[in-house]
Amino acid sequence: MIVNKNASLKKLNTFNVDASCDVLVESNDTNDLLEALNSKELNNNLFILGGGSNILFTKHYQGTIINLKEESIKILDEGTDKVQVEVSAGMNWHRFVKWAVDKNFGGVENLSLIPGNVGASPIQNIGAYGVELKDVFDSCSGIMTDSLDRVNLSKSDCEFTYRSSIFKKKLKNKFIITSVRFNLTKSNHLYNIDYPDLNNLSEFNLDLKKISNEVIKIRNSKLPDPKQFGNCGSFFKNPIIDFSKFQKLKEKFTEIPLFKVDSNYFKVPAAWLIDKCGFKKINDENVGVYRNQPLVIINLGNASGNEIINFAKRIKDSVFNKFDIELEEEVIVM
């Protein structure tokens, strides 16, 4: 365990915001984590930081940030058609996906190149190109912050919904995920290529690597490299509206793209709403939206967290005024 006081967080967040915290703990395993949680000096206003790809720091963090560093993958159970693996929370998500694809383990190929670490994936119920984490999730292990008890949570325990889970609600800041178990396929893979961007893939001679490579290609074409422009990927969730609002919007904006969720709800692409509000041509000195994907807010220089959140508020206000839809942040703002 490495402990640093008054530590910089600039290299630990993909927005590349220059922020700091009272104490930064680098935890290499569960024993390190428990030692930090048991310490009266370190167990003060705790926050668990993974890959820093879904967070925006707007000020100095008064407390302790624990950065989970352990990276490991274990095969727990392997049969002819299926395999169950356990992955440590500190494992880079895409590194895990690449490992699975290379092993011909199916289920996560559509989630290629999503930034962040495995431990954050259930919190957000990450998803892309027709697949969500809950589709392959078996369970997760972790520690309750109040009692320090080790607990296992099943899929039903986690209460997954669109880009959310129990970890954003009842267990917010109360449970630290240390590892996640996934159920993957070894044969008879269910290839998911119904998503519009994947329609060009042929079912003939299809395999996991082809799907993964296509997703990587699409994401690289739409999303900026954090090394060039600091960002957190999608800043906002795609809003879901009811049938009544759907009818009103369709009458006023006939070209609006709407995707049916069920008989009474529709999903609206937030990127389309932001684009129609003209934000591809609007930016502040240090903040703007990415030219190929307006859903992504980018750090154009040395933007502060407050500059970024103020720009995001301008987007929210504009979308609400034009479409009567309130966008909800996907990132955690601190």
Q: Spot the catalytic one: 53, 132, 141, 163.
A: 163
Beta strands in the chain (DSSP E): 2-8, 20-27, 47-49, 55-56, 61-68, 73-78, 82-88, 127-128, 131-132, 137-144, 150-154, 175-185, 230-234, 240-242, 259-260, 265-267, 287-290, 293-299, 332-333
Beta bridge partners of 170: none
Place of tokens 């893979």: 189
Close Cβ partners of 196 (under 8 Å, ≥ 6 residues apart): none
To the query of whether residue 330 is one of the catalytic residues in this protein, the response is yes
Q: Cα(307)–Cα(328) distance, rounded to whole angstroms?
A: 18
Tokens of 65: 């940030």
Task: Number of helices (H) and strands (E) in the chain: give both, helices first.
Answer: 7, 19
Whether the Cβ atoms of residue 126 and residue 136 lie closer than 8 Å to each other: no
Whether the Cβ atoms of residue 319 and residue 327 lie closer than 8 Å to each other: yes
Give the chain's end-to-end CA distance (angstroms, integer): 25
Torsion sign, CA atoms 196, 202, 206, 207? negative
Tokens of 132: 């969500």
**What 3-state DSSP class applies to 118?**
helix
To the query of whether residue 163 is one of the catalytic residues in this protein, the response is yes
Q: Spot the catalytic one: 121, 141, 179, 234.
A: 234
Q: How many CA atoms lie within 13 A of 26 on its CB side?
A: 11
Whether the Cβ atoms of residue 36 and residue 66 lie closer than 8 Å to each other: yes
Cα 47 from chain centroid (whole Å): 17
Please identify every residue annotated as catalytic.
163, 234, 330
